Structure 1
Amino acid sequence: MTDPNPKIAFRNVSKSFGEGDKSFVALRDLTLDIADGEIVTVVGPSGCGKSTAMNIVAGLTGVTSGECLVNGKAVNGPGPDRGVIFQQYALFPWLTVIKNVEFGLKLQGMGREQRRERALHYLDLVGLKDFAEAYPKTLSGGMKQRCAIARAYAVNPSVLLMDEPFGALDALTRVKLQDQLLDTWSKDKRTVMFITHDVDEAVYIAHRVIVLAARPGRLQEIINVDLPFPRNEEIRLSPEFTEIRNNVWRAVYDRSQQAA
């Protein structure tokens, strides 16, 4: 997907950690555009800089050289325009589901009635409205992650950054949450950058799959996912899906072998 005004832009981004003999390059000369409303998944062997790239967009770490832009402005730190969801749910156990979703809205100074209405809207989008008054300890792993997604959406970010959000879940729950994410996206479209090790997941939810090469992390290949939305089980089992998945596997495996 091309866009003259990309939502997210990496411009020759490099990132190093450490100093002297102990330094290593996590990313080298990454140039990439992500369009407004696009879902991009990022895959690659361990150590290829997937999470580092996402953390740069989130403003959680800076670049060593180059520039990362969101809405045409350089990223200099975290901001409410970017919601971040990690593999661990990071819910407050002493707050109910709805209070967890309201938390960011309260920090923004939104009034009680308005933030409750907003929170209920996004809980409804992720299928948790009936659990609004429950505490996180009573929820399954999948429900906790849906709560985290609702909380991220509620503060109205234009960009959603997801780092292995379903990685700790069983296979069936993972598939269900992939469908839930796409359903939520279809109703309230955001730009999504999704980090994963699961190639099937990467293909199923994305417009494009970004394959990074390891040691140091750099752009290896961009694979278009020319499959229609909404996605469903029929698409997941189609020959077209299998062909794209195999292309991604080959790109990741070949690069992993070279890095080994």
Structure 2
Amino acid sequence: MSEAKISFRNVSKSFPAAGKSFTAIRNLSLDIHNGEIVTVVGPSGCGKSTAMNMVAGLMPHSSGELLVDGKPIDGPGPDRGVIFQQYALFPWLTVRANVEFGLKLQGLDAAARRERAMHYLRLVGLADFAEAYPKTLSGGMKQRCAIARAYAVNPSVLLMDEPFGALDALTRVKLQDQLLDTWSRDRRTVMFITHDVDEAVYIAHRVIVLAANPGRLQEIIEVDLPFPRNDEIRLSPEFTEIRNHVWRAVYQRDASAA
């Protein structure tokens, strides 16, 4: 994981607000390595989602350089799959048709679309629900469908904005493990935004802590825990030590700045 997959080079983002300019992110410099899982944490207003949306190409940055594979980002692209907290599934399409949607835009024929969609539905444990409609699925199943849809178009980068935030605790833990299991097979680069410190530590190689007002890099915390991760890791003293380090970086700093 030596080469940079995503590079922020003194990136700033400002928005007009009440006749003035509001700076959401200021001079962010950061490399996310190829095949790495990075989680991004920080207090509300620190620019976590703004940073991810800029990488996704959903909004332009105001200054600096933002690169994927050494090339400037100039809009959305099939190399970057985006998964939001709200599943954004098409309710009138079946689970399989939802996963096939992006493949249809890529021009794949029906047989190839079906084969690839079913492959990823098996990967996330939804093969038996391929012909079901989203309204019949639980929240966790809907999110697994969204993950399968993002994977199916074969992006080299997964951008995940609090994808498990609306789920119950047990489902959330299961999907964290499923994400890591899937990552172990294909080693995609993952940028994962969360408010949950335990989640941030459990799935990441590194935790990126942002400070607020304006959003800026505060600290990068290495998660020196072995893969595969499991319940034994969650309950280990080493996990607790890193978790407490991240918690202090986010919440004690936030309290002192308040």
TM > 0.5 = yes
Taking the aligned partners of 1:214 and 1:123, their CA distance within structure 2 comes to 38
Q: CA RMSD in A?
A: 1.0
State yes or no: 1:252 paired with 2:250. Answer: yes
Q: Which residue of 2 aligns with 1:46?
A: 44
Give the match's secondary structure for 1:160. strand
Structure 1 stretches of 5 or more lacking a match? Answer: none
Q: Alpha-carbon deviations, 1:106-148, whole Å to 9, x = none?
A: 0111010011100011111111111111111111000000000
Give the match's secondary structure for 1:220. strand
Give the match's secondary structure for 2:99. helix
Taking the aligned partners of 2:18 and 2:173, their CA distance within structure 1 comes to 44
Taking the aligned partners of 2:138 and 2:102, their CA distance within structure 1 comes to 23
Q: Which residue of 1 aligns with 2:116?
A: 118
For residues 6-17 of structure 1, the aligned pairs below 5 Å read 6-17=4-15
**Deviation (angstroms), 1:19:** 5.2
Give the match's secondary structure for 1:18. strand
**Deviation (angstroms), 1:257:** 1.6
Conserved in 2, the CA contact under 8 Å of 1:214 and 1:255? no
Which residue identity is paired with 2:11?
V
**Deviation (angstroms), 1:21:** 4.5
**Deviation (angstroms), 1:254:** 2.5
Which residue identity is paired with 2:239?
F
**Deviation (angstroms), 1:150:** 0.3
State yes or no: 1:32 paired with 2:30. Answer: yes
Q: Alpha-carbon deviations, 1:24-69, whole Å to 9, x = none?
A: 1100000000011100000000000000000010000111110110
Q: Kindly, what percent of the aligned residue pairs are identical?
A: 83
For residues 62-211 of structure 1, the aligned pairs below 5 Å read 62-211=60-209
**Deviation (angstroms), 1:20:** 6.8
Give the match's secondary structure for 1:179. helix
How many residues are treated as equivalent by the alignment?
258
Conserved in 2, the CA contact under 8 Å of 1:215 and 1:259? no
Taking the aligned partners of 2:25 and 2:159, their CA distance within structure 1 comes to 18
Structure 2 stretches of 5 or more lacking a match? Answer: none
Worse-matched range after superposition: 21-30 or 207-216: 21-30
Which residue identity is paired with 1:201?
E
Worse-matched range after superposition: 13-22 or 189-198: 13-22
Give the match's secondary structure for 2:44. coil
Taking the aligned partners of 1:16 and 1:148, their CA distance within structure 2 comes to 30
